[in-house]
Structure 1
């Protein structure tokens, strides 16, 4: 099933997801290079809400660019299988192995702003991440490790701690939404 079909089938959780889903589908129909950074205005990314088996904790990384505790995730970089991107990024950013999808379906959708910044010595203009989030699971007993070029910390938080540890106001709302969805399942 294509990502467009997955988005068509996705049932939004709230008004934010409803409006973002509509915009994402429009973007896919009317834009080029949506899965690569060649599209300088917006491109797809994949994130994960990476929880333990009991669904009581989530892994967060201290993201150097955003100067905040954050979920794992990254750019599609041409890969249209965003679940694969989500798992790959989660493993790369945390050092965890055997990260699995709780469910292969989309867990959440959001359009996120990225402020202009310097990355590897070059300026990156402000743009949008057309983001798809997946619910992933890992063993909390496994050793965590930092990915030095992206983060300076990796740790498990309770669901409530994950929200309060984040210093980005909009992302706090997203993480709260993810926790609400988790508690309802």
Structure 2
């Protein structure tokens, strides 16, 4: 099943997800290649809400650009299997060797605004991340490493602590809190 079909079949958790799901599906019909960063207005990204097997901890990285503790994830960069993108990014950004999906299904849907910033010495204009989040699992005893060009820390938090560690109010209140609310109803 292709990604557009997966997204059409996804059942939104709340009004934010319903609106963002509709916007992403609308973007799929446009002329831009949403799976490439060449689409400067909006492009596909995948995020990982990485939890331990007991669902008592969430893995976060301190992202240098946002100056905040945040979930793991990144750009599709041509890949259309966003679960694979989430798995790759979680491993690259944390050093985890054994990260796996709790489910292959989309866990959450978000359209995220990205302010203009400097990356690798070049200006990147403000744009949208059309983001799909996947629930992944890893052992909190596995060794972690930072990815210095992207983050300066990686650590486990309690689910509530992960929300509080973020310095981005909208993300903290509307995304991370939602991910934790969904996590409470997900079987261990």
TM-score class normalised by the smaller sequence: over 0.9
Which residue does 1:182 correspond to in 2?
Answer: 183
1:58-97 correspondence to structure 2 within 5 Å: 58-97=58-97
Q: How far 1:12 sits from its partner (Å)?
A: 0.1
Distance 1:81 1:11 in 2: 19
Whether 2:21 is the aligned partner of 1:21: answer yes
Distance 1:79 1:170 in 2: 28
Distance 2:136 2:31 in 1: 29
1:45-64 correspondence to structure 2 within 5 Å: 45-64=45-64
Distance 1:183 1:137 in 2: 15
Whether 2:163 is the aligned partner of 1:163: answer yes
Q: How far 1:31 sits from its partner (Å)?
A: 3.4
- RMSD value over aligned CA atoms? 0.5
Q: How far 1:165 sits from its partner (Å)?
A: 0.3
Q: Secondary structure at the match of 1:30?
A: coil
TM-score between the two structures when normalised by the length of structure 2:
0.97
Which residue does 1:9 correspond to in 2?
Answer: 9
Q: How far 1:170 sits from its partner (Å)?
A: 1.2
- Structure 1 runs, 4 residues or longer, greater than 3 Å off: none
Q: Secondary structure at the match of 1:129?
A: strand
Q: How far 1:117 sits from its partner (Å)?
A: 0.4
Distance 1:62 1:98 in 2: 21
Structure 1 residues without counterparts, runs of 5 or longer: none
Distance 1:144 1:169 in 2: 26
Q: Secondary structure at the match of 2:123?
A: strand
Distance 2:3 2:56 in 1: 29
Structure 2 residues without counterparts, runs of 5 or longer: none
Q: How far 1:61 sits from its partner (Å)?
A: 0.1
Distance 2:34 2:155 in 1: 32
Q: How far 1:171 sits from its partner (Å)?
A: 1.0
